[in-house]
Structure 1
Amino acid sequence: MSLESVRAFLAEKAPDLAVIELPTSTATVAEAAAAHGVEPGRIAKTLSLRVGERVLLVVARGDARLDNRKVKAAFGGKASMPSPDEVQALTGHPVGGVCPFGLATPLPIYCDVSLKGSDEVVPAAGAINAAVRIAPERMAAITGAVWVDVCQDRNAEAAGAP
């Protein structure tokens, strides 16, 4: 069901994009990067967050980490992760295959500015072995995502800043 909903979404919004199905799991950033032959920063991971009563999706670089202060400032409260069952029920996608395409429930979608450093990213496509290759700006456009800055600053992190 999930893979089919992604295919239907892409057929309508981006018919030139093909879903890439692999024989191995791409459920983690490391598995996806190895399977697609890209560095982890080119994987676009989709995180499900609960802020109060709201659930939302944040798509970020695979090697980025959320900054709790930025998340709270951007979304108006402390974020927690919904359970895997709740994620599947809301998105229609299993954990490891969650993406902003073909959602079972309309959810707010945000793309972190960390994605803007790549000309192409590889988000999941509704299954733990499926993905697409897409420009970050295009992904945001076809999903109606809003750009936010909710991840830790990689330059500050590399320099040892907290």
Structure 2
Amino acid sequence: MNEASVAGDSVSRVRAALARAGHPDTVAAFPAGTRSAAEAAAAVGCDVAAIAKSIVFRAGERPVLVIASGSNRVDLGKVAAATGLAVKRAEAGWVRDTTGFAIGGVSPLAHRTPPVVLLDEDLFALPVVWAAAGSPAHVFSTTPAELLRLTGGTRATVRDDAAG
């Protein structure tokens, strides 16, 4: 199976999850790529803060998904405190195997293994956010409240205040 068909399957999985949740299909494709928050913001035409980036951490064999504002770095200590889990950075292969998504295209929903989910409190100051839709070239738009509903996550302060 080639990379394009794998990405297509991942995007289809996200579209199906959105439909099951009663969310409109707002998936948009950007062939130039949306791999980073800066690339996604440039493609969509929004501020980097409105990109809801998905960062997967590892707590043993359990995935912990932090959906952070694109302008924020995540404080691992705050993630551990909010989840009560010992978390560490996850390797790319483990992320792909566990979530079903490659880094750069990790969606906030439709994971192979349901993660513990935290949503960055800073996202809730925005009317609309954009999140990866299963590939490094697809995103979907939603509201922070809908993202919370879709993921079953918990609001948390995760911003690294020391990052400049």
Please tell me the TM-score bracket, short chain as reference. 0.7 to 0.9
For this pair of structures, how many residues does the alignment match?
A: 156
- Report deviation, 1:157: 6.5
- Matched with 2:19 is 11
Q: Work out which of the residue numbers 119, 122, 129 in structure 2 matches 1:121.
A: 129
- Equivalent in the alignment of 2:112: 104
Aligned identity (percent) is: 35
Map of 1:62 onto structure 2: 70
Deviating 4+ runs (over 4 angstroms): none
* CA RMSD after TM alignment: 1.7
The separation in 2 between residues aligned to 1:72 and 1:9, in whole angstroms, is 28
Unpaired stretches in structure 2, ≥5 consecutive residues: 1-8
Is the contact between residue 52 and residue 77 of structure 1 (CA under 8 Å) also seen in structure 2? no
TM-score between both structures, scaled by the size of structure 2: 0.87
Q: Any conservation in 2 of the 1:94–1:127 contact (CA below 8 Å)?
A: yes
CA contact (8 A) 2:54 2:108 kept: yes
| TM-score normalised by L of structure 1 | 0.88
Higher strand share: 2
In structure 2, what is the Cα distance between the partners aligned to 1:130 and 1:87? 18
Instruction: Work out the CA distance in 1 between the residues paired with 2:109 and 2:85.
Output: 25
Counterpart contact for 1:14–1:142, Cα < 8 Å: no
Tell me the secondary structure at the aligned position of residue 132 of structure 1. strand
